[in-house]
Amino acid sequence: MTLTTAEENYLKAIYHLSDGATKSVSTNDVAAEMKTKPASVSDMLRKLGDKEVIEYRKYYGVNITEEGKKRALQTIRKHRLWEVFLVEKLQFAWDEVHEVAEELEHIQSPLLIQRLDSYLNFPKFDPHGDPIPDEYGDVRARPRLALNEMDIDQSGQIVAVKDSSAAFLKYLDKVGAYIGARIKVLDKVEFDGSMEILVDQKKTLFMSKDVAANILAIQS
């Protein structure tokens, strides 16, 4: 059973909202994610249910099926491989790739993806540090580590925060640290564990050990 572009986009959204097919997802959440109205979502859920990529019980939200998970991961795989291509080969910036990949991921050609994968040397992560599922849908999660666990001169990228309180996020915003920022450890003070971090190759930032422990990064 083939999925349309719209169906693929919905399924991908449901997969993400379900935290990797673990929790069930509400109509309203899907509508918010897809920037459509709940009424449109109800319609689409019925179709996806008929195609057996989700399990749909009216009024009780949806759960993605095994088949649906497989399909979603294929689309995600294609999306991320294209992102790697755009950054590595076509010199796109980091934040310019998502929109285009959102279109490219729907091109139907198994051969194309197989060859692209090989051409890119079978990358395991996309430019945002997200793992690229293999052709069977298996994902290798990249270890994330807190900033205070990194050593001097190590580089990486901020991918998440442990403490996501408004106060903390506001602080990060103020000092110019954001999800996706490329960072490098310039110094670590033995005495109190405070750190000096280079952000985006231009801005130097001092932070306490407490702050550093709440910022998660991937190494590069």
Partner DNA sequence: TTAGTGTTTTAGTCTTGGCTAAAAATATGA
Partner DNA sequence: TCATATTTTTAGCCAAGACTAAAACACTAA
Q: Which residues bind a copy of itself (CB under 8 A)?
A: 86, 89-92, 96, 99-100, 103-104, 107-109, 111-112, 115-116, 119
Where in 157-186 is the site for Mn ion (CB under 5 A)? none
Among positions 51, 124, 128, 182, the unique one binding Mn ion when judged by CB under 5 A: 128
55 near Mn ion (CB under 5 A): no
- Residue 7 contacts which entry, a copy of itself, Mn ion, DNA, none (Cβ below 5-8 A, type-dependent): DNA
26 near DNA (CB under 7 A): yes
DSSP codes, 38-80: HHHHHHHHHHHHHTTSEEE-TTS-EEE-HHHHHHHHHHHHHHH
Smallest gap from Cβ 15 to a copy of itself, in A, equals: 23
Smallest gap from Cβ 111 to a copy of itself, in A, equals: 7
76 near Mn ion (CB under 5 A): no
For residues 61 to 100, the per-residue mask of contacts with DNA, x marking binding by CB under 7 A and - elsewhere, is x---------------------------------------
126 near Mn ion (CB under 5 A): yes
Pairing between strand 145-146 and 155-161? unpaired
DSSP codes, 169-208: HHHHHHHT--TT-EEEEEEE-TTT--EEEEETTTEEEEE-
Smallest gap from Cβ 12 to a copy of itself, in A, equals: 18
36 near DNA (CB under 7 A): yes
Q: Which is nearer to a copy of itself, 29 or 105 (CB)?
A: 105
DSSP codes, 107-147: ---HHHHHHHHHHTT--SB-TTS-B---TT----PPPPEEG
Under a CB-based contact definition with an 8 Å cutoff, are residues 206 and 192 in contact? no
**SS3 for 33?**
helix
Q: Which is nearer to DNA, 58 or 203 (CB)?
A: 58
Smallest gap from Cβ 89 to a copy of itself, in A, equals: 6
Tokens of residue 62, six digits: 């949806």
Which residues, at least 6 apart from 93, have a Cβ–Cβ distance to it below 8 Å?
87
Instruction: Report how many residues bind Mn ion under the rule CB under 5 A.
Output: 6
Give whole-number Cα distances, 170 to 137, 160, 164, 200, in Å.
37, 14, 10, 19
Tokens of residue 12, six digits: 């991908």
Residues that bind DNA (CB under 7 A): 4-7, 9, 26-29, 35-47, 56, 58-61
